[in-house]
């Protein structure tokens, strides 16, 4: 019971805090826009993870990187 009361108090604390915000509203809007732009636009279209996208397993990724580290030795 005490646990529930505590959770309700915490919920009310955050709810009241968020509803009474003034500058905070604008800041949250900025934060959400930023996250949207980053994760839905920049990451998807401009910054794909190269190894995650091109290889399926860690073994393949490790082999690829090892290949990159040793591809120069023949010409050195």
Partner 1 sequence: MIDVDPSLVNWSRAQFAFTAMFHWIFVPLTLGLSVLCAFFELIYLKTGNEEWKRITRFWMTLFAINFACGIATGIILEFQFGTNWSNYSWMVGDIFAAPLAIEGLFAFFIEAGFFAVMFFGWNRVSKGFHCFSTCMVAVGSNLSAVWILIANAWMQNPVGMLFNADSARFEMNNFAEVVFNPVAIAKFTHTSSSCFVVGATFVIAVSCWYLIKKRHVDMARKSIVVASVFGLVSSFFVAFTGDESAYVIGQKQPMKLAAIEGLYKGERGAGLVVFGIVNDKKVAGDAQDAFLFEVTIPQALSVLANRELGSFVPGIDDLVYGNAEENIMGVNTKMEKGKLAVADLTAFKQAKKDKDADAAEEALARFNVNEEFLGYGYLDTPEEAVPPVSLVFNSFHLMVVVGTFLPLIFGAFLFFSLKGTLMEKRWLLPVGIFSSVLAMLAQQAGWVTAEVGRQPWAIQGLMPVKIATTNLSATAVQVSFTAFAVVFSLLLIAEVSIMLKAIAAGPEGHRK
Please report whether residue 62 would count as binding partner 1 according to CB under 8 A: yes
Residues 8-27 contacting partner 1, CB under 8 A: 13-14, 16-18, 20-24, 26-27
- C-alpha separations of 1 from 6, 8, 61 in Å: 9, 11, 51
Q: For partner 1, give the closer residue by CB, 4 or 67.
A: 67
Residue 66 C-beta: closest distance to partner 1, Å: 4
Nearest Cα residue to 68 out of 25, 56, 28, 55: 55
CA distance 72 to 70: 5
Asked if residues 64 and 55 have their Cβ atoms less than 8 Å apart, the reply is yes
Q: What is the DSSP letter of 76?
A: -
Q: Please identify, using beta-carbon distances, which residue of 3 and 47 lies nearer to partner 1.
A: 47
Restricted to residues 30-59, the positions that interact with partner 1 (CB under 8 A) are 30-31, 33-35, 37-38, 41-43, 45-52, 58
Nearer to partner 1, 1 or 20 (CB): 20
């Amino acid at each position: 019971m005490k646990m529930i009361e505590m959770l309700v108090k915490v919920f009310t604390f955050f709810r009241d805090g968020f509803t009474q915000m003034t500058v905070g509203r604008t800041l949250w809007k900025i934060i959400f826009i930023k996250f949207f732009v980053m994760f839905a636009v920049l990451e998807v279209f401009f910054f794909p993870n190269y190894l995650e996208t091109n290889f399926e397993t860690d073994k393949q990724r490790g082999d690829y990187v090892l290949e990159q580290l040793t591809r120069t030795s023949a010409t050195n």
